[in-house]
């Protein structure tokens, strides 16, 4: 059984990936400083899998702690989720974002390289990137070949910089004498589109601290009366109903993509290498369509008003997922209705248990 370090594994996507990895026969080991999560997520994971994952409360910028974990747990691969992710906050506090998102990546990469030097197999390193790196693209759907645009905020820039760091590290390995790196890195950046939903058991889900910035967490809280009515940010976009179009993907499908990427990396023999995959559904859904689907599947009204466009938002963003299907053998299986139903059950559970 391979031990996989999941940085940020107590978070929204990380916790679902811990479950998926466990179900696929890996042994996940979590490091998380709980800056945007809660240790109770470990109970939820144990409830689903029957196993409490190995958990280290600590910061990924702490190289000594990382070295200890890599040795103690004999880590065979990494999925690096740990980062701050609030776009608006990143504009207010850019240093906080560059410090955490870049330094955490660098420390985890250094520890991975040090540790893997003695191992026999390729060392997979999967990184959480984002469709935000495409910016306002000229054509849709977005393929991995679509040129990146300069980021419009520090959060997005940390994702672009992180991809460049991975590219440079892998290419340095490729140029160097292979014997220098007994274990070559197989880095994979997964560019997520819009993750939504929760585990169907409602044992784990998204639990943003404070007022949610993203559509679905805000929508479910508005529907339950915990928040003011949802504001639709603009109804004058060049889309069929005027509202923004995104590619919403069930978080359980997204978690499965990490398992597929991990299995793919372990199966390759030509590392060092760096791959990039879009992880979405390939379908675009407008804000109005999403509200209508939520109301249809839950029977609950979403109070909402129309507001101004949110600065920095693009009109349309959806993925071409052919590459992930062809190479990873992965594709999204759940519908938006599934995801919204699961998000709603999770929201109700928060209400009754918090």
Residues that bind ligand NAD (CB under 6 A): 7-8, 10-14, 31-37, 59-61, 81-83, 85, 100, 104, 128, 130, 192, 195, 214
Q: Which of 89, 99, 295, 313 binds ligand UDP (CB under 6 A)?
A: 313
The answer to whether residue 230 forms part of the interface with ligand UDP (CB under 6 A) is yes
- The site partner of 335 among ligand NAD, ligand UDP, none (C-beta below 5 to 8 Å per kind) is none
Tokens matching residue 112: 């991975």
Q: Measured from the CB of residue 193, what is the shortest distance to ligand NAD in angstroms?
A: 8
For ligand NAD, the nearest residue by Cβ is 11
The answer to whether residue 218 forms part of the interface with ligand UDP (CB under 6 A) is yes
d(CA 205, CA 30): 17
Q: Which of 246, 283, 288, 341 binds ligand UDP (CB under 6 A)?
A: 246
Using the minimum distance from each CB to ligand UDP, give the nearer residue, 167 or 227.
227
The answer to whether residue 285 forms part of the interface with ligand UDP (CB under 6 A) is no
Using the minimum distance from each CB to ligand UDP, give the nearer residue, 258 or 288.
288
Using the minimum distance from each CB to ligand NAD, give the nearer residue, 29 or 183.
29
Tokens matching residue 46: 């144990």
Q: Which of 317, 97, 76, 103 is nearest to 192 (CA)?
A: 317
Q: Which residues are catalytic?
A: 155
Q: Measured from the CB of residue 307, what is the shortest distance to ligand UDP in angstroms?
A: 8
Tokens matching residue 18: 């811990």
What is the Rg, in whole angstroms, of the alpha carbon atoms belonging to the chain?
A: 20
End-to-end Cα spacing for the chain = 36
Burial (CB count <10 Å: 0-12, 13-18, 19+), residue 26: buried
The answer to whether residue 244 forms part of the interface with ligand UDP (CB under 6 A) is yes
Burial (CB count <10 Å: 0-12, 13-18, 19+), residue 256: buried
d(CA 208, CA 211): 7
- The site partner of 35 among ligand NAD, ligand UDP, none (C-beta below 5 to 8 Å per kind) is ligand NAD
Q: Measured from the CB of residue 182, what is the shortest distance to ligand NAD in angstroms?
A: 28
Chain centre to alpha carbon of residue 215: 16
Angle (deg, nearest 10), helices 336-353 and 215-223: 60
The answer to whether residue 232 forms part of the interface with ligand UDP (CB under 6 A) is yes
Q: Tell me the number of residues near ligand UDP by CB under 6 A.
A: 14
d(CA 44, CA 24): 18
Using the minimum distance from each CB to ligand NAD, give the nearer residue, 122 or 162.
162
């Amino acid at each position: 059984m391979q031990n996989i370090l999941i940085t940020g594994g107590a978070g929204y996507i990380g916790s679902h990936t811990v479950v998926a990895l466990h179900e696929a026969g890996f042994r996940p080991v979590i490091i998380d400083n709980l800056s945007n999560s809660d240790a109770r997520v470990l109970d939820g994971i144990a409830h689903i899998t029957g196993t409490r994952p190995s958990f280290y409360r600590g910061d990924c910028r702490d190289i000594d702690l990382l070295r200890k974990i890599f040795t103690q747990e004999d880590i065979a691969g990494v999925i690096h989720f740990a980062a701050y992710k609030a776009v608006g906050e990143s504009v207010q506090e850019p240093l906080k974002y560059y410090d955490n998102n870049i330094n955490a990546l660098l420390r985890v990469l250094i520890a991975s390289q040090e540790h893997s030097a003695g191992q026999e197999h390729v060392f997979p390193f999967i990184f959480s990137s984002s469709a935000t790196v495409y910016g306002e693209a000229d054509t849709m759907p977005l393929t991995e070949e679509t040129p990146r645009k300069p980021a419009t905020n520090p959060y997005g820039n940390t994702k672009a910089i992180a991809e460049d760091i991975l590219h440079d590290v892998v290419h340095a390995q490729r140029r160097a004498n292979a014997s220098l790196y007994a274990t070559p890195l197989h880095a994979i950046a997964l560019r997520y589109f819009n993750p939504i939903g929760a585990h169907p058991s409602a044992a784990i889900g998204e639990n943003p601290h404070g007022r949610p910035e993203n559509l679905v967490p805000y929508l479910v809280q508005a529907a339950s009366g915990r928040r003011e009515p949802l504001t639709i940010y603009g109804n004058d976009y060049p889309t069929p109903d005027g509202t923004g179009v995104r590619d919403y993907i069930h978080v359980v499908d997204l978690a499965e993509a990490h398992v597929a990427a991990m299995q793919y990396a372990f199966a390759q023999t030509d590392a060092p290498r760096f791959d990039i995959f879009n992880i979405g559904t390939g379908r675009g859904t407008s804000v109005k369509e999403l509200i209508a689907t939520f109301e249809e599947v839950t029977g609950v009204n979403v109070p909402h008003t129309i507001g101004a466009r949110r600065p920095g938002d693009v009109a349309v963003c959806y993925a071409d997922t052919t590459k992930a299907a062809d190479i990873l053998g992965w594709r999204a299986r759940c519908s938006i209705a599934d995801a919204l139903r699961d998000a709603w059950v999770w929201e109700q559970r928060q209400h009754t248990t918090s």
